[in-house]
């Protein structure tokens, strides 16, 4: 599966370079994540976008707005998996305020460079961008209150390991709030691959029942999956919420 990871890395490296070179138009070449007709930036309100650097908005390739569903609070520590150009990290940093902290994790050097530039331009200091993989999060156990992600978990070739890592880094009572691409239960993996590529967020999508089962195995409770947009036949953008028991 290392070939798939490199395919994904190269795809998003290219998207970061477009923005860094000033050639991006806000959506990737083969359609936005999940096949949505709207650009990733369209999931954010005008008020949010007004406070963001143009490059952060242009680099938004997601399928939702996880900061809107995570209900972030002052003083919390947030981790964004696959932080890309940094839009969700910047918004999270503003929501948790100076007593909180927002981490962004990405495996692509070019995206990290873009995100750091965007955070500096946005004037947020309570952020830190980490290079690494969501299957091996470089943070200690029980170190964050909230994990968010925007159309990235579907890109992993070992999603159960991702769920386990999220569980590991969350504190008791912590919560998960992500936007992701999810397939209808009746679609086989082969049928999902027919509808789009791995790097395009479709071939690697879990079904709704697979997503729920994976979170349950990792120890999550209060799991909710909500469809918010439909792409190719049987492929959906969805909001996923779950919590860790407080004890």
The predicted structure's pLDDT at residue 220:
98
Dig out the tokens for 86 from the structure: 């940094």
The predicted structure's pLDDT at residue 35:
44
User: Coil, strand or helix: which one is 105?
Assistant: strand
Per-residue pLDDT of the chain (247 residues; tens, 9 = 90+): 568 888 887 877 787 787 777 755 544 444 445 444 444 555 665 565 566 666 655 555 667 778 878 889 999 999 999 998 898 999 999 999 999 999 999 999 999 999 999 999 999 999 999 999 999 999 999 999 999 999 999 999 999 999 999 999 999 999 999 999 999 999 999 999 999 888 888 889 999 999 999 999 999 999 999 998 877 789 999 999 999 999 7
The predicted structure's pLDDT at residue 1:
56
**Contact call for residues 156 and 162 (beta carbons, < 8 A):** yes
The predicted structure's pLDDT at residue 38:
45
Residue 124's nearest CA partner among 52, 191, 190, 69 is 52
The predicted structure's pLDDT at residue 32:
46
Q: DSSP states of 147-206 as a string?
A: EEEES-GGG-S-HHHHHHHHHHHEEEEEEEEEEEEEE-TT--HHHHHHH--TTTTSTTPE
- Strand bridging mode 170-183 / 144-150: parallel
Cα 13 to Cα 2, 5, 232: the distances in Å are 16, 12, 25
Enter the pTM of the model: 0.88
Domain extents for the chain?
A: 2-243
CATH topology of domain 2-243: Rossmann fold (3.40.50)
The predicted structure's pLDDT at residue 49:
57
Cα 216 to Cα 13, 75, 145, 182, 245: the distances in Å are 33, 28, 19, 16, 12
The predicted structure's pLDDT at residue 3:
83
């Amino acid at each position: 599966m290392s070939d798939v990871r490199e395919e994904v890395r190269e795809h998003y490296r290219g998207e970061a370079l477009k923005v860094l070179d000033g050639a991006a138009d806000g959506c990737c070449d083969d359609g936005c994540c999940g096949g949505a007709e709207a650009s990733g930036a369209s999931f954010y309100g005008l008020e949010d976008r007004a406070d963001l650097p143009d490059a952060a908005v242009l680099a938004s390739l997601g399928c939702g707005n996880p900061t809107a569903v995570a209900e972030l609070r002052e003083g919390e520590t947030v981790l964004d998996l696959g932080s890309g150009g940094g839009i969700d990290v910047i918004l999270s940093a503003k929501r948790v305020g100076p007593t909180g902290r927002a981490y962004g994790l990405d495996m692509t050097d070019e995206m990290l460079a873009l995100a750091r530039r965007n955070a500096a331009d946005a004037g947020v200091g309570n952020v830190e961008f980490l290079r690494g993989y969501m299957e091996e999060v470089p943070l200690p156990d029980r170190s964050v209150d909230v994990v968010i992600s925007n159309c990235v978990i579907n890109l992993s070739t070992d999603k159960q390991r991702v769920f386990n890592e999220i569980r590991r880094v969350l504190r008791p009572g912590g919560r998960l709030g992500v936007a992701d691409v999810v397939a209808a239960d009746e679609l086989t993996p082969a049928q999902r691959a027919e509808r789009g590529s791995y790097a395009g967020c479709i071939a690697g999508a879990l079904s709704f029942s697979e997503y729920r089962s994976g979170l349950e195995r990792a120890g999550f409770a209060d799991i909710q999956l909500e469809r918010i947009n439909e792409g190719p036949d049987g492929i959906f953008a969805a909001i996923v919420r779950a919590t860790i028991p407080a004890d």
